[in-house]
Amino acid sequence: MSNTDKTVEWNNLPWREIEKVIFKLQKRIYQASKDGDIKAVRKLQKTLINSWYAKLIAVRKVTQDNTGKNTAGIDGVKSLTPKQRLQLAKDLKMNGKSKPTRRVWIPKPGKVEKRPLGIPVMEERAKQALVKSALEPEWEAKFEPNSFGFRPGRSCHDAIGQVYMSIKQKAKYALDADIAGCFDNIDHNALLKKVKKHFQTLSDIIKNSKAKNQAKLIERLNPIIKGWSNYYSKVVSKAIYNKLDALVYWQLVRWGLKRHPSKSKAWVSNRYWHSIDGWKRTFATRESEGSLKLIRHIEKPIKRHIQIQRNKSPYDGDWVYWSKRRGNYPGKPSTVAHLLKEQRGKCPHCNLNFFSDDLLEVHHKDKNRKNNRRTNLEVLHKHCHQNIHKQRYA
């Protein structure tokens, strides 16, 4: 695209063509790196970084796709208009000194102390995204097959699966690389299993729901139980699920006794627990109240996560493999997973395949957000969804 074409409205840019051209360049960088042709890698990287199309994608990523797009740097700029995005892409050059970051302090997980976080200005974020688009394909071809952190298309479930495969036959040592002061400074509370955190969440909801009726309590608990069980169904969790269900049961018994202090445990049991679907004791409302039942953790089947193939990368161009894998991604809501499979891993708006780290959103075709029938839903790129609703996002 020539400089004279750069005034084209942002939303009307040929995004499909832009993404195809850039991915072809990235795929060539990946292949050249696998072949050990460093000269070709550097030449292709230089071409990509100077590409107008690559600059457009970098700007879109930091101004539309990123979850932190509304966080300002030292210049106070939180968001850009379509016209400003085009101007930023036009001015994007890899030269000069970086601008200072805005330093904020955020709490460390599970700790009172805070850690510093540097927030770059929008221009610097775009530069980082541009450089990343050139460097990532090169290093994807070089990384050790069993490295999983901060890599596209790989998740913590792949790491968990690899650990399981390594130790299931014989116990092995695990080395923490950050040894210094480990036992003096370590926060042992942070080492408590996620299961305890999850149970505490459920327990707090139950304890604070004395005034709520059974249906309201079930409506609060079910989404949390379902989401947590879905996420951990890819690992060996059956014993944990049984234990959690037992603990939740006794919390619910206490809840029932507090609501009816003059009644016996047998009365409470008959009032709130019923025989449903082969389960003799199911926490559920009566038929006259709609038969709303509490989901059990153990109801979620344990299905082992399929580990990523050792030498696969999103830059290898194997869309069949990556489309199928994205539809089976751990923690993915069942509706989204179903739609991804139905759409064969493609965005129906731009007709491009979903990349491993693309942000996705569910779109209601009839614009009615209350109509959640699957025939009314489709999964889109976040930026494609914004483009459809551009008047709202203007």
- 106, 114 Cβ separation under 8 angstroms: yes
**DSSP line for 116-128:** EEEE--HHHHHHH
Q: For the segment 233-250, what is each residue's pLDDT rounded down to a tens digit?
A: 776 678 889 999 999 999
Among candidate residues 22, 5, 3, the one with its CA nearest the CA of residue 13: 5
Q: Out of 104-113, 271-280, 325-334, 382-391, which region has the weakest mean confidence (pLDDT)?
A: 325-334
Q: Out of 129-143, 175-189, 336-350, 377-391, which region has the weakest mean confidence (pLDDT)?
A: 175-189
Q: How confident is the model at residue 280 (pLDDT cuts 50, 70, 90)?
A: confident
The alpha-carbon radius of gyration of the chain (Å, integer) is: 26
Q: Residue 207 CB: number of other CB atoms within 10 A?
A: 12
Q: What is the pLDDT of residue 186?
A: 44
Q: For the segment 141-197, what is each residue's pLDDT rounded down to a tens digit?
A: 998 888 887 888 887 777 777 777 777 788 777 765 554 444 445 444 544 588 888
Question: What share of the chain has pLDDT > 70, as a percent?
Answer: 87
- What mean pLDDT is reported for the chain? 83
pLDDT at 266 over 90: yes
Single-letter residue type at 155: S
pLDDT at 125 over 90: yes
Q: What is the pLDDT of residue 240?
A: 86
Burial class for 54, CB neighbours closer than 10 Å (0-12, 13-18, 19+): buried
Single-letter residue type at 2: S
In the block, residue with structure tokens 């299993």: 193
Q: Out of 36-40, 135-139, 318-322, 378-382, which region has the weakest mean confidence (pLDDT)?
A: 318-322
Is the full-model pTM beyond 0.85?
no
pLDDT at 1 over 60: no
Q: What is the pLDDT of residue 364?
A: 92
Query: 277 — alpha (psi -120 to 50), left (phi > 0) or beta?
Result: left
